[in-house]
Amino acid sequence: MSSSAYAALLARLRKGEAVLLDGGVGTEIQRQGAPMSTALWCAEANLTHPQTVRAVHESYLDAGAEIITANTFASSPLLLDHFGRLDDMERIDAIAISLALEAATKRRAKAGGEIVIAGSMSTMRPTVPGSDRTQTESSWNQGTARALFARKAASLRAGGCALILMEMMRDLDYSLWACEAAIACGLPVWIGISVERGLDGQLHGFGRPDTDLAAVAAGLAALQADAMAIMHTSLDDTSEALALLRNHWSGPIAVYPECGRYAAPNWQFIGVATPEDYAQQACGWRALGAHALGGCCGVGPDHIAALYEAHRR
């Protein structure tokens, strides 16, 4: 997708205009009927149910999204390496990006306008069966991890993304190495931090109660990506996390939290806020300095349509 479309969108962000991202990709693929892989979650759907993946992108574009995210979050190089599938990564990513591009081409032919295709890059590792918690025994040394992340960034660039979204960043080891690899590949990068509240009542990186969130925010902000984000964070904690991030970052900020509660054993979310309530909460994020709005797990096309009505009229 053209770099000129991204440049125009970034200019709007820097002027404080609202920009709309899509909602959850993996959870929406599952909601629309594609079976999930026990090992690779939604990544396998690129190979087995491409029509569903494409339909998800189309539904977000119809709702008003200007940035759609290729289904590449779960094709994490760490996850694929763990399961002996690393050599499938480039093929999975290429198909995922092509499906997003096809949806964008169809939308432009019907309604015009520019659409930015983002590739999702994560540090996803194997999870404890029936939960969203990382298996802590799955680890890679720094040199190996950096090489894997560099290969992933190159895969997203080769596929034709205009932007890399670093998603669920939450620490200063794997997340930092991944972000540095993405920036080094030459594509624009947005860094999304995922947050949760620990037993101590404080905010930490998601699944990393050992982290100092302020240090994580400062360390990742120092990389000088094009934008920072708070994402895959509960609605209750998003405003506080956004305010903390603003203490360490003066550039454009995106907000796209999760919505509802994770229901084991699949990545299904229950107790999801209504689209109207979600859009109302987003007004508060705009007031706190958010420029781009969207959603993560549990957020669907109806939520993005409500954001469009509330912020793009």
Specify the amino acid at residue 222: A
CA–chain centroid gap for 74, Å, is 11
Residues in contact with 136: Cβ distance below 8 Å, sequence separation at least 6, in sequence order: none
Average pLDDT over every residue of 69-96:
98
Helix (H) or strand (E) holding 231: strand 227-231
User: How many structural domains is the chain composed of?
Assistant: 1
Average pLDDT over every residue of 51-79:
98
Say what the pLDDT of residue 261 is.
73
Residues paired with 193 in a beta bridge: 169, 230
Q: pLDDT digits over 123-181, tens only?
A: 999 877 766 777 766 789 999 999 999 999 999 999 999 999 999 999 999 999 999 99
Cβ pair 37, 85 in contact under 8 A? no
Tally of CB atoms within 10 A around 44: 21
Q: What is this structure's pTM?
A: 0.95
Listing DSSP states for 37-53 in one string gives BTTTBTTTHHHH-HHHH
Backbone angles phi, psi at 294, to 5 degrees: -170, -145
Backbone angles phi, psi at 238, to 5 degrees: -65, -45
Distance between CA atoms of residues 106 and 193, nearest Å:
32
Q: pLDDT digits over 283-308, tens only?
A: 999 999 999 999 999 999 999 999 99
Write the CATH number for 8. Answer: 3.20.20.330
Q: Which domain holds residue 126?
A: 3-311
User: What are 46-53's contacts with CB under 8 Å, separation 24+?
Assistant: 46/71, 46/75, 46/92, 46/95, 46/96, 46/99, 47/91, 47/92, 47/95, 50/95, 50/99, 53/29, 53/96, 53/99
